[in-house]
Amino acid sequence: MQPSEAERSVGYLVKRVQQGVRRRCDSALKPTGLSMAQYSTLRALHEHPDASAAELARLCFVTRQSLQDVLAGLRADRLVETADTPPRGRSRSLALTRLGSRRLGAAHDAVFAVEAVMLQGISARDRRTVAEVLLRCAENVEDA
Protein backbone atom coordinates (compact mmCIF):
# COMPACT_ATOMS: atom_id res chain seq x y z
CA MET A 1 0.00 0.00 0.00
CA GLN A 2 1.33 3.41 -0.99
CA PRO A 3 1.52 6.13 1.69
CA SER A 4 -1.16 8.75 1.31
CA GLU A 5 -0.37 12.41 0.76
CA ALA A 6 -1.05 13.06 4.46
CA GLU A 7 1.33 10.24 5.43
CA ARG A 8 4.07 11.92 3.39
CA SER A 9 3.55 15.33 5.02
CA VAL A 10 6.40 16.71 7.12
CA GLY A 11 4.28 17.01 10.27
CA TYR A 12 3.11 13.41 10.03
CA LEU A 13 6.66 12.17 9.40
CA VAL A 14 8.04 14.16 12.35
CA LYS A 15 5.41 12.55 14.59
CA ARG A 16 6.14 9.10 13.14
CA VAL A 17 9.86 9.50 13.86
CA GLN A 18 9.13 10.83 17.36
CA GLN A 19 6.89 7.88 18.16
CA GLY A 20 9.41 5.38 16.82
CA VAL A 21 12.28 6.95 18.75
CA ARG A 22 10.19 7.04 21.91
CA ARG A 23 9.28 3.34 21.62
CA ARG A 24 12.89 2.32 20.98
CA CYS A 25 14.21 4.57 23.77
CA ASP A 26 11.69 3.19 26.26
CA SER A 27 12.90 -0.30 25.40
CA ALA A 28 16.60 0.67 25.46
CA LEU A 29 16.20 2.43 28.82
CA LYS A 30 14.61 -0.56 30.61
CA PRO A 31 17.96 -2.02 31.74
CA THR A 32 18.88 1.36 33.29
CA GLY A 33 15.71 1.39 35.39
CA LEU A 34 14.71 4.77 33.98
CA SER A 35 11.70 5.88 32.02
CA MET A 36 12.06 8.38 29.19
CA ALA A 37 10.57 11.08 31.45
CA GLN A 38 13.11 10.29 34.18
CA TYR A 39 15.98 10.28 31.68
CA SER A 40 14.84 13.62 30.24
CA THR A 41 14.65 15.13 33.70
CA LEU A 42 18.10 13.88 34.73
CA ARG A 43 19.56 15.11 31.44
CA ALA A 44 17.95 18.54 31.85
CA LEU A 45 19.18 18.83 35.45
CA HIS A 46 22.68 17.85 34.36
CA GLU A 47 22.76 20.31 31.46
CA HIS A 48 20.90 23.16 33.25
CA PRO A 49 21.67 22.89 36.97
CA ASP A 50 20.28 26.35 37.76
CA ALA A 51 17.03 25.95 35.82
CA SER A 52 13.76 26.70 37.56
CA ALA A 53 11.00 24.10 37.79
CA ALA A 54 9.15 25.87 34.96
CA GLU A 55 12.28 25.81 32.78
CA LEU A 56 12.91 22.13 33.53
CA ALA A 57 9.31 21.27 32.69
CA ARG A 58 9.65 23.10 29.35
CA LEU A 59 12.95 21.34 28.59
CA CYS A 60 11.34 17.96 29.35
CA PHE A 61 8.10 18.67 27.43
CA VAL A 62 5.91 18.11 30.50
CA THR A 63 3.73 20.20 32.79
CA ARG A 64 5.13 21.46 36.10
CA GLN A 65 2.86 19.00 37.94
CA SER A 66 4.14 16.08 35.86
CA LEU A 67 7.69 17.24 36.50
CA GLN A 68 7.03 17.29 40.25
CA ASP A 69 5.78 13.70 40.04
CA VAL A 70 8.90 12.60 38.16
CA LEU A 71 11.15 14.47 40.60
CA ALA A 72 9.44 12.79 43.56
CA GLY A 73 10.33 9.40 42.10
CA LEU A 74 13.90 10.47 41.35
CA ARG A 75 14.30 11.73 44.93
CA ALA A 76 12.87 8.49 46.32
CA ASP A 77 15.37 6.53 44.20
CA ARG A 78 18.16 8.83 45.47
CA LEU A 79 19.03 9.99 41.96
CA VAL A 80 18.53 13.69 42.75
CA GLU A 81 18.89 15.74 45.90
CA THR A 82 18.56 19.34 47.01
CA ALA A 83 21.67 21.23 45.94
CA ASP A 84 23.99 22.91 48.42
CA THR A 85 23.26 26.34 46.97
CA PRO A 86 21.29 29.23 48.43
CA PRO A 87 17.57 29.12 47.59
CA ARG A 88 16.22 31.39 44.86
CA GLY A 89 13.05 32.78 46.30
CA ARG A 90 10.95 29.85 47.48
CA SER A 91 12.63 27.27 45.28
CA ARG A 92 15.73 25.20 45.92
CA SER A 93 17.95 23.95 43.16
CA LEU A 94 18.36 20.24 42.63
CA ALA A 95 21.48 18.27 41.78
CA LEU A 96 22.21 14.79 40.55
CA THR A 97 23.62 12.39 43.12
CA ARG A 98 26.58 10.16 42.20
CA LEU A 99 24.10 7.37 41.57
CA GLY A 100 22.03 9.72 39.42
CA SER A 101 25.09 10.66 37.37
CA ARG A 102 26.01 7.01 36.83
CA ARG A 103 22.45 6.13 35.83
CA LEU A 104 22.35 9.12 33.47
CA GLY A 105 25.58 7.95 31.81
CA ALA A 106 24.13 4.51 31.13
CA ALA A 107 20.91 6.08 29.87
CA HIS A 108 22.83 8.43 27.54
CA ASP A 109 24.52 5.43 25.97
CA ALA A 110 21.14 3.73 25.43
CA VAL A 111 19.49 6.83 23.92
CA PHE A 112 22.45 7.66 21.69
CA ALA A 113 22.44 4.07 20.41
CA VAL A 114 18.81 4.54 19.35
CA GLU A 115 19.72 7.79 17.62
CA ALA A 116 22.58 6.05 15.81
CA VAL A 117 20.12 3.46 14.45
CA MET A 118 17.75 6.24 13.36
CA LEU A 119 20.55 8.00 11.47
CA GLN A 120 22.01 4.95 9.70
CA GLY A 121 22.78 5.65 6.06
CA ILE A 122 22.52 9.43 6.47
CA SER A 123 25.68 11.44 5.80
CA ALA A 124 27.12 13.82 8.39
CA ARG A 125 26.23 16.72 6.10
CA ASP A 126 22.61 15.57 5.77
CA ARG A 127 22.43 15.05 9.55
CA ARG A 128 23.48 18.66 10.09
CA THR A 129 20.94 19.80 7.51
CA VAL A 130 18.13 17.81 9.15
CA ALA A 131 19.05 19.23 12.56
CA GLU A 132 19.12 22.80 11.20
CA VAL A 133 15.78 22.40 9.43
CA LEU A 134 14.11 20.82 12.49
CA LEU A 135 15.46 23.59 14.71
CA ARG A 136 14.00 26.18 12.34
CA CYS A 137 10.65 24.34 12.32
CA ALA A 138 10.64 24.24 16.14
CA GLU A 139 11.45 27.95 16.33
CA ASN A 140 8.74 28.76 13.79
CA VAL A 141 5.99 26.98 15.72
CA GLU A 142 7.22 28.22 19.11
CA ASP A 143 7.31 31.84 17.91
CA ALA A 144 3.91 31.67 16.21
Instruction: Please count the structural domains in the chain.
Output: 1
- The Cα 32–Cα 144 span in angstroms is 38
In a domain, 22, yes or no: no
| pLDDT tens-digit map of 6-37 | 888 999 999 999 999 999 999 999 999 999 99
| pLDDT tens-digit map of 61-119 | 999 999 999 999 999 999 999 877 766 666 677 889 999 999 999 999 999 999 999 99
- Predicted TM-score (pTM) of this structure: 0.85
Question: Which residue blocks in 5-123 are alpha helix, DSSP H?
Answer: 10-29, 36-47, 53-60, 64-76, 98-118
> Whole domain around residue 124: which residue ranges?
29-143
- The Cα 118–Cα 7 span in angstroms is 19
In a domain, 21, yes or no: no
CATH number at residue 64: 1.10.10.10
Enumerate residues 6+ apart whose C-beta is below 8 A from 126.
none
In a domain, 5, yes or no: no
Q: For the chain, report the end-to-end CA distance as a whole number of angstroms.
A: 36
